[in-house]
Structure 1
Amino acid sequence: MSALIPQRGASADPYRALVVDLQSSLDLESTWKACLKLIASKLPHRSCSLMFNIVNYEPTDARHHVVLPRNPDYVPATSLTISGPYLARHPQIKLYTYSQIVSEDPDAHRRRLDQEPDPEWNEFIHLAFWHDSRPEAVLSIRRPPDQSQVTAEEHAFLEQLHPMIEAALRRLRAVEGERSRRSSYEHFLRQVPLTVMFVNAAGESLFANNEAEKQCGRWNRGLRGSVDSDACFRLPEAVGAMFEAGKPGANDGQPGSVRRPHPALTGLSVKIDRNWQFSGLQMSPSYVVTFLDEPVAGEAPQESSQAALLVLQRLTPTERRVAQLVARGLRNHKIAEHLSRSRRTVEFQLNSIYRKLDIRSRTELVRALS
C-alpha cells in the first residue's frame, strides 16, 4: 500500500493529521515543522535541513534539525557544494542521493571532506524543488552508516512526499506575494492624506491609515453612551441593510455609496462604499470608510482632487489638516479653536506649509488645493 496513504486502525488518524498539517501550512516555519514530523514518522535519519533562497546553486538560508549529534555544537552546513554540480547537470531532478553523485562525480568525496572533515553522516537523500529552471529549495536528509540503505518503502514515501512539499512551497510563494502586495498597499495608503479605512460587515477594522484612526477615535468618542474605542468603527444603523437590499446610494448621487452625518458631532460625516465582492469561500461584504469634516456651517463636505492630494502628500499630517482648513475658508483663530491648538502654533505650521510648497500667501495655498 502507498506510503502516504494512512492505514486503517489506531495509527491512521495521527498520521493523517501530520499530512493535513503540511497541506495547510501557510508560513515557512509551520511547513518546516510539518516536514520534520512526517520524515520522523517514516524515515530514520541523523540530521535534516531545508535549504532555500538558492543563488547560483548555493542556499543563502536554511532550517536545520539534528538528532543526537556526537558534538553538541554541531550544525549542518548550509551549502550545496557537494550536489551543486550534479544539480546543474540534471535540471529538474527531484530525488537523488550522495551515492548517485559520487558514482558520476568522484570529486564529490573531496568536496564533502572539505566541507565537513568529520561528517556525522554517511549518506544523504535530497529532494530538490524547482522554480522554472532554477532550484528553489532542497530538503536534505542525512543518515549514518547503519541507515545508509534506502529501502523500497522509504523511496516510495519520498516520491510521494515530494509533490506535497512542492505544493506547500508554491502556496508559500503565493502567500508571500500577497503579503508583499498588501504591505505595499498599506504603506502607500498610510502616506495618502485621506482618512480611509476598511471594515468588514461586523464593523471590525481591517485596515486604517493614521488619519482614519484619529477620526475613527473621534467618531466613537462622540457617540453618546458608547464605550470609548479607537479600534473599531461601527457602521451607522441601516447602512449595511441598505447595501444588502441593493438600494442605490444616498446623498451623493453615486450608486453603491452612502453618506451619513455623525449623530452628535456637528460637521463630521462618514462616506461608506461597498467593496466589490469576489467569488471564493467567503462572500461576506466589506466596506471602504472615508471620514469627512465640515468645519464651516452650511458647507457641504469637500473631497480633495487628485492634484490637491499630491500637494498634501508633501506635508505632515498636522500640516495637512491646517492646509485643508485654510482651503475651506477658516482664519487662524478659528483653525486654532477647531484643532484645540494655540493661534501661535497654527501660524508656525502655516509658515512651514508655505516653505514646503514654495508659496507666499493663503490665496496661493487655496489655489494649490482647489
Structure 2
Amino acid sequence: MSALTPQRAAPTDPHHALVVDLQSALDLESIWKACLKLVASKLPHRSCSLMFNIVNYEPTEARHHVVAPKNADYVPATSLTVSGPYLARHPQIKLYTYSQIVSEDPDAHRRRLDQEPDPEWNEFIHLAFWHEARPDAVLSIHRPPDHSLISADEQAFLEQLHPMIEASLRRVRAMESEHSRRISYEHFLRQVPLTVMFVNAAGESMFANNEAEKQCGRWNRGLRAAEPGEARFALPGGVEAMFDGAAGSNTDDQAAASVRLSHPSLKGLSVKIDRNWQFAGLQMSPSYVLTFLDEPVAGEASEALSQSAMLALQRLTPTERRVAQLVAQGLRNDKIAEHLSRSRRTIEFQLNSIYRKLEISSRTELVRALS
C-alpha cells in the first residue's frame, strides 16, 4: 500500500471563515454580525436588517445596517405590513422579493409608500424563517436602484445562506430555552426547603443553593470564618471517597445508588450522596447530588414532609426553615440556639419572623403547619 501524499494547507478562504462564524454563533447578535458580513461579501445592498420575534408581522427586535444613510438618524422600516398579506398566502415560503409581492398584490406599493414615503430602493429580498405557521425572523436586504435584478450567482448564494441562518437560529433558540429552564430550576431549588448541591465527577460544584454553601463551609471549617484567599467552595471532607459507593455498581436501584456520610465531629450534620447523570458531549458521565441533613440527633432520619409543610417552608428563608423544623421536632429555643450556634435572642427574633410570615402566633400552630 502506498503512503498518503502529504497535503499542504489551502490558503485561507475569507468566505469560508464567515460561514464558520455564522455556524458557530451562540446568540442573536453574533448571528446578525455574521449575516451582515456574508451579505456584504456577495450582494450589493442599500441596507440590511435582521428582524426577530415577529408578532402579527411586527418584529419586537431588529438589527439594521445602512450603507449610505441619507441622514444620520435614518433607520429602515421594520414593519412587515408590505409583505404581510403575501406571507399569509404563502406560508413557509423561504425566499421572496418585493417584485413578487407587487405582481400578486398591487396595493403593496401603497403600503410601501405609507411606510416609507421617500424610499431609496426599488427592490428588496427577504429570507423568511418560520416557527410553525408564523414567520419568526426575516433577513431583509434592500437593493440599490442600479442593482434591482438578482443574478443567478446571487440567487444560488441566497439559497445556500437560508439553511445556514435557519440552523443557527434554531440552535440559539434551543440554547435560550435550555437556559430558561435552568434558571427556572435553580430558582425553584433555591426556594425549596432542601440544602442541596450538584457536583460533577471531578468534584466541581455545578449548583448549590445558599444554605448548601453555608453547610459545606460549616462541614470543612466548623464555626471558623473563611480566611482571606481561602477557596469559596471545597467538597466536604471525605465525600469524594464515597462517590464509588454512590455509583451503585452499575445498578439502577435508587437505594443502592445512595450513601450517607456523617460529620466526624459535628453531631447531627450528615450528607447524603445520590448518583445522578449528566450529558457530556455525546456521552453520559456521572454526577452527584449532595443533600445536607442537619438533625438534632445523629443518625435520626427526618420524616417526610407533607405537601402543605413544603409550601409553608418555601415562604421562609433557609435559616428560618431550619429553626422551624427544629421547633417541629420538639426542641426548645435554648437547644435550637445551641444546635445552630446562635444566641437565644437571635432564635427568638427568627421565630417571630416565622410566625409573621406563616400568619400564626404560637409554637403549637407552627408544629401543626409542618405536620
Alignment match, 2:176: 176
Alignment match, 1:229: 231
Partners in 1 of 2:70 and 2:353 — Cα distance? 67
Partners in 2 of 1:22 and 1:271 — Cα distance? 45
Alignment match, 1:100: 100
Shift, 1:333, TM fit? 1.6
Shift, 1:217, TM fit? 2.8
The question of whether the paired residues in 1 share the 8 Å contact of 2:45 and 2:142 is answered with yes
Q: Which is further off, 302-311 or 217-226?
A: 217-226
Shift, 1:178, TM fit? 1.8
Q: Which is further off, 158-167 or 30-39?
A: 30-39
Partners in 1 of 2:261 and 2:114 — Cα distance? 73
Partners in 1 of 2:115 and 2:174 — Cα distance? 34
The question of whether the paired residues in 2 share the 8 Å contact of 1:92 and 1:133 is answered with yes
The question of whether the paired residues in 2 share the 8 Å contact of 1:219 and 1:262 is answered with yes
Corresponding residue SS for 2:194 = coil
Shift, 1:105, TM fit? 2.3
Alignment match, 2:134: 134
Corresponding residue SS for 1:275 = strand
Corresponding residue SS for 2:335 = helix
Alignment match, 2:88: 88
Change in Cα spacing, 1:116 to 1:283, as seen in structure 2 (3 Å) is same
The question of whether the paired residues in 2 share the 8 Å contact of 1:46 and 1:66 is answered with yes
Change in Cα spacing, 1:348 to 1:78, as seen in structure 2 (3 Å) is same
The question of whether the paired residues in 1 share the 8 Å contact of 2:248 and 2:258 is answered with no
Shift, 1:259, TM fit? 1.1
Q: Which is further off, 334-343 or 126-135?
A: 334-343
Q: Amino acid of the residue matched to residue 127 of structure 1?
A: L
The question of whether the paired residues in 2 share the 8 Å contact of 1:216 and 1:230 is answered with no
Change in Cα spacing, 1:131 to 1:288, as seen in structure 2 (3 Å) is same
Alignment match, 1:157: 157
Partners in 1 of 2:250 and 2:170 — Cα distance? 42
Pick from 234, 237, 241: which aligns with 1:238? Answer: 241
Per-residue CA deviations over 1:316-361 (Å, capped at 9, x if unaligned) read 3332121122233332122223334432332233234345445554
Alignment match, 2:4: none
The question of whether the paired residues in 1 share the 8 Å contact of 2:246 and 2:274 is answered with no
Shift, 1:182, TM fit? 1.7
Q: Amino acid of the residue matched to residue 243 of structure 2?
A: G
Partners in 2 of 1:154 and 1:247 — Cα distance? 57
Q: Amino acid of the residue matched to residue 272 of structure 1?
A: I
Identity %: 77
Alignment match, 1:4: none
Alignment match, 1:3: none
Aligned length: 358
The runs of 5 or more residues in structure 1 that have no matched partner are: 1-7
Partners in 2 of 1:124 and 1:38 — Cα distance? 17
Partners in 1 of 2:184 and 2:61 — Cα distance? 24
Q: Which is further off, 77-86 or 264-273?
A: 264-273
Alignment match, 1:351: 352
What is the TM-score of this pair, normalised by structure 1?
0.86
Shift, 1:245, TM fit? 7.2
Change in Cα spacing, 1:45 to 1:220, as seen in structure 2 (3 Å) is farther
Alignment match, 2:339: 338
Q: Amino acid of the residue matched to residue 61 of structure 2?
A: D
Per-residue CA deviations over 1:235-280 (Å, capped at 9, x if unaligned) read 723122334572789xxx9210121123454432211111135585
Shift, 1:138, TM fit? 0.9
Change in Cα spacing, 1:359 to 1:223, as seen in structure 2 (3 Å) is closer
Partners in 2 of 1:229 and 1:153 — Cα distance? 59
Alignment match, 1:258: 259
Describe how 1:273-312 pairs up with structure 2 within 5 A.
273-277=274-278, 281-296=282-297, 298-302=298-302, 304-307=304-307, 308-312=309-313
The question of whether the paired residues in 1 share the 8 Å contact of 2:200 and 2:206 is answered with yes
Partners in 2 of 1:341 and 1:245 — Cα distance? 39
Q: Amino acid of the residue matched to residue 87 of structure 1?
A: L
Partners in 1 of 2:128 and 2:195 — Cα distance? 48
Partners in 2 of 1:214 and 1:304 — Cα distance? 23
Corresponding residue SS for 1:68 = coil
Shift, 1:31, TM fit? 1.6
Partners in 2 of 1:91 and 1:39 — Cα distance? 25
The runs of 5 or more residues in structure 2 that have no matched partner are: 1-8
Change in Cα spacing, 1:229 to 1:294, as seen in structure 2 (3 Å) is farther
The question of whether the paired residues in 1 share the 8 Å contact of 2:199 and 2:207 is answered with yes
Corresponding residue SS for 2:285 = coil
Per-residue CA deviations over 1:75-114 (Å, capped at 9, x if unaligned) read 1122112111221222221111112222332222222222
Partners in 2 of 1:237 and 1:163 — Cα distance? 47
Alignment match, 2:320: 319
Shift, 1:223, TM fit? 11
Corresponding residue SS for 1:254 = coil
The question of whether the paired residues in 1 share the 8 Å contact of 2:277 and 2:285 is answered with no
Q: Amino acid of the residue matched to residue 261 of structure 2?
A: R
Q: Amino acid of the residue matched to residue 85 of structure 2?
A: P
Say whether 1:118 aligns with 2:108. Answer: no
Alignment match, 1:32: 32
Change in Cα spacing, 1:104 to 1:299, as seen in structure 2 (3 Å) is closer
Per-residue CA deviations over 1:25-53 (Å, capped at 9, x if unaligned) read 23211222221222222222221111122
Per-residue CA deviations over 1:171-216 (Å, capped at 9, x if unaligned) read 2222222222222212211110110121111222211222222222
